[in-house]
Amino acid sequence: MKALKSAFSKLILGLRGWEIDYNTQEHGKKFIVIAAPHTSNWDFFIGLLVVFSCQLKLSFFGKHSIFVPPLGYIVRKLGGIPIERSRAHGVVTAIASQISQSEDLILALAPEGTRKAAFPWKQGFVHIAKQAQIPIQLIGLDYKHKQIVFGPVIREVTNTHEQMQTIYAFYDTVCAKYPENCITRS
């Protein structure tokens, strides 16, 4: 079933003109994937096709409001973790603890936290990586070149400000579906 889903996803991506740059590096069984720019609902669907074609099992955050029946069941089966975003409430520590206790866990996040123009980006993923002592893989959805680009891996979080500059620099080279909604500098 996985092979069929993978082949079908690759076919759909190919028919839509998308390519995946499989220049990946080894990061172990636990890491965070940040996928950006996130400026359109289409990003989620393209991301799902990439996940299926690469045969990845990952988890991701979603607005708590999409986890209601019947959609909630499907979103959870896809790896969704509901998040109440109206206030801070220990998500970083809870997720870092969950990752530490897991044998393998790939957490995918959109660092902007919204499809609208936002700067600076949310930094919770950096704090999760630091607490859980896991790497961060940058992945770009480049609509101009119709390519999924695997960017640098941040192996260890030491200086959040410097590492956010590395992240912004990479995503500054990736063209969003709606470029005006991807802000990588103030």
Rounded to whole angstroms, how far apart are CA atoms 36 and 115? 10
pLDDT bin (cut points 50, 70, 90) of residue 23 is low
What is the per-residue pLDDT for 24?
A: 58
pLDDT bin (cut points 50, 70, 90) of residue 177 is very high
Whether omega for the bond prior to residue 37 falls within 30 degrees of 0, making it cis, is yes
Residue predicted with more confidence, 131 or 27: 131
Rounded to whole angstroms, how far apart are CA atoms 177 and 145? 11
Supply 69's token pair: 């029946």
Q: Taking the CA of residue 164 as centre, how many other CA atoms within 13 Å lie in the half-sphere pointing to its CB?
A: 18
Block residue for tokens 């099992």: 57
Rounded to whole angstroms, how far apart are CA atoms 11 and 69? 30
Neighbours of 174 (CB within 10 A): 23
What is the per-residue pLDDT for 90?
A: 80
pTM of the predicted structure, to 2 decimals:
0.88
Closest-CA residue to 151 (of 23, 7, 38, 12): 23
Average pLDDT in the chain: 89
What is the per-residue pLDDT for 86?
A: 66
